[in-house]
């Protein structure tokens, strides 16, 4: 009778441990689901602001191309860069493949550079800059570029929380098996997407770099 009581106690203890482990694992799993969904939601925001910029390009190109003698090569670069962005196919959820994200980031960076070049060239056309349509498009583009920087930063912050949870106990025991994998970050310097503020002052010689102190 005594052995039976001990056996029941042992079984009861094992069942209690099993229940606790299941509860802990279940809580960790639910947390990963919530964090994964938050990451996907923020990724959608990133894609939205990039799409907003791409949607501005045709009107911007059409407006600028109306200026007499505007550099044709600059317009071609912008058009080609926008086409390259459209050729990069990414999933609706946050990507797992670093190479895939790098390709997307590279294409977006090329479009950023081409748009920056366009705005620099536009500085040479006072009549173009004075048109309401161009000023409105330029303002929308600058606002979108700022939004891109903000959303990329928020995405990395959300992703850091998700990736940290995957590496933490007890989620690290089963996360990969259940399909939760670490996702790559945006690695570009924050603000690199924003076109530089360009001012032309041809009356001054170019400034010389300050020598570094030994």
Rounded CA-CA distance 164/146 in Å is 27
Cα angle value 153/55/63 (rounded, 5°): 120
pLDDT at 89: 85
Identify the three-state secondary structure at position 177: coil
pLDDT at 161: 96
- pLDDT per residue over 110-157, tens digit each? 999 999 999 999 999 998 988 999 999 999 999 999 999 999 999 999
pLDDT at 16: 55
Which helix (H) or strand (E) element contains residue 9?
A: helix 2-65
> Burial of 173 by CB count in 10 Å (0-12 exposed, 13-18 middle, 19+ buried)?
exposed
pLDDT at 101: 94
pLDDT tens, the chain, 214 aa long: 655 566 666 666 566 555 555 655 566 788 899 999 999 999 999 999 999 999 999 999 999 988 878 888 999 999 999 999 999 988 889 999 999 999 999 999 999 999 999 999 999 999 898 899 999 999 999 999 999 999 999 999 999 999 999 998 888 888 888 889 999 999 855 444 444 443 333 334 434 434 434 3
| Residues written for the chain | 214
Does residue 188 lie in a domain region?
A: no
Rounded CA-CA distance 30/39 in Å is 14
Identify the three-state secondary structure at position 3: helix
Does residue 83 lie in a domain region?
A: yes
Q: 10 Å Cβ neighbour count for 206? A: 5
Among 165, 167, 173, smallest CA distance to 33 is for 165
Does residue 6 lie in a domain region?
A: no
What the block records as the tokens of 86 is 């459209």
> Burial of 79 by CB count in 10 Å (0-12 exposed, 13-18 middle, 19+ buried)?
middle
Residues 176-199 as b/e (b if ≥16 CB within 10 A, e otherwise) read eeeebeebbebeeeeeebebeeee
Does residue 185 lie in a domain region?
A: no
Does residue 58 lie in a domain region?
A: yes
Q: Which domain holds residue 83?
A: 15-170
Structural domains in the chain (count): 1
pLDDT at 195: 44
pLDDT at 198: 37
Does residue 59 lie in a domain region?
A: yes
What is the phi/psi pair of residue 93, to 5°? Answer: -90, 165
pLDDT at 56: 95
Does residue 202 lie in a domain region?
A: no
In 66-97, which ranges are continuous DSSP H helix?
A: 72-87
pTM for the predicted model, two decimal places: 0.76
What the block records as the tokens of 118 is 């366009």
pLDDT at 199: 38
CA contacts within 13 A on the Cβ side of 64:
28
pLDDT at 147: 96
Does residue 40 lie in a domain region?
A: yes
CATH number, domain with residue 150? 1.20.1440.20
């Amino acid at each position: 009778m005594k052995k039976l009581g001990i056996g029941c106690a042992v079984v009861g203890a094992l069942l209690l441990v099993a229940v606790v482990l299941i509860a802990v694992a279940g809580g960790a799993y639910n947390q990963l689901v919530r964090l994964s969904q938050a990451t996907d939601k923020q990724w959608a925001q990133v894609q939205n602001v990039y799409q907003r910029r791409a949607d501005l390009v045709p009107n911007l190109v059409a407006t600028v191309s109306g200026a007499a003698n505007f550099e044709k090569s600059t317009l071609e670069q912008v058009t080609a860069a926008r086409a390259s962005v459209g050729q990069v196919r990414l999933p609706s959820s946050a990507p797992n493949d670093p190479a895939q994200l790098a390709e997307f980031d590279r294409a977006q960076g090329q479009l950023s550079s081409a748009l920056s070049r366009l705005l620099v060239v536009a500085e040479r056309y006072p009549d173009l800059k004075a048109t309401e349509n161009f000023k409105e498009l330029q303002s929308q583009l600058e606002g979108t570029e700022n939004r891109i920087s903000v959303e990329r930063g928020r995405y990395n912050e959300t992703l850091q929380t998700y990736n940290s949870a995957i590496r933490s106990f007890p989620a690290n025991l089963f996360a990969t098996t259940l399909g939760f994998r670490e996702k790559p970050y945006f690695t570009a310097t924050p603000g690199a997407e924003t076109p530089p503020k360009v001012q032309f002052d041809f009356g001054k010689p170019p400034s010389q770099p300050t020598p570094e102190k030994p």
